[in-house]
Amino acid sequence: MKKIYFLIIVLIFFSSTAPAQIPFNTSPVWTSSDNGAYSTGCAWVDLNKDGWLDLVTADGNDMSRQKLSVYFSNNGTLPTVPGWQSTDIDYHGKLTVGDVNGDGWSDVAVSVYIGPAGFGSRGKVKLYLNSNGTLSSIPAWISSDTVYTFSCAFGGCGRRWRPRFSSCLRGEL
């Protein structure tokens, strides 16, 4: 009899705490004005140290050679137009952020999925250094080897700049 009461109590408890569906908006709360961008990777990071997260996007994928973009938050509101774009274009994949050279500013690394000739050529990994809140307009470092890579990650960087970044920046094959 005690087992039946226990079973009833357990069933009542779990039926009253069953997970409910989370209501999501059916329309986005923010959209960039760059309708031609094929954004593949993004990261939220406070690039300019103003206390608000900025949005960094890697555009291109395998659709079109495009730029990296940064949408600098203005007191928590994202503009629809990027405040910074790289001057170079590529088939960008995913990206990662971290302080590679130990200067206290977040840098951005991005995988280039395929080379300029498209699927017949291999991509690379690029690094944009952050100088006082502004990323370099061209990569400060480009991997010397070419590989089909879609994402990259920082690992083993420590606090010191490594000129070749060989043990710091890894691409995923």
Task: Please say if the pLDDT value at position 165 is more than 70.
Answer: no
Amino acid identity for residue 35 in this structure: N
Residue 144 above 70 pLDDT?
yes
Task: State mean pLDDT over 24-33.
Answer: 86
- pLDDT for 167 beyond 70: no
As given in the structure block, the two tokens for residue 94 are 């995913």
92: β partners: 60, 112
Percent of the chain at pLDDT > 90 equals 50
Q: Give me the pLDDT at residue 10, please.
A: 62
pLDDT in tens, 77-109: 999 999 999 999 999 999 999 998 889 999 999
Specify the higher pLDDT residue, 70 or 40: 70
Write down the pTM of the prediction. 0.77
- Output the pLDDT for position 73: 96
Long-range pairs for 9-14: beta carbons < 8 A, 24 or more residues apart: none
Instruction: Report residue 19's pLDDT band, with 50, 70 and 90 as the boundaries.
Output: low
Q: Which residues on neighbouring strands pair with residue 131, listed in sequence order? A: 134
Pairing mode of beta strands 130-131, 118-128: unpaired
Q: Looking at the predicted structure, is the pLDDT value of residue 35 above 70?
A: yes
Beta carbons of 52 and 77 less than 8 angstroms apart: no
CB atoms within 10 A of CB 80: 10
Confidence at residue 14, expressed as pLDDT on a 0 to 100 scale: 61
**Contact indicator for 79, 70 with CB cutoff of 8 Å:** no
Question: What does the pLDDT read at residue 84?
Answer: 96
Written as one string, the DSSP assignment of 13-68 is HHHHTPPPPPP--SS-S---S-TT--EEEEEEE-TT-SSS-EEEEEEBTTT--B-E
Residue 171, pLDDT above cutoff 80? no
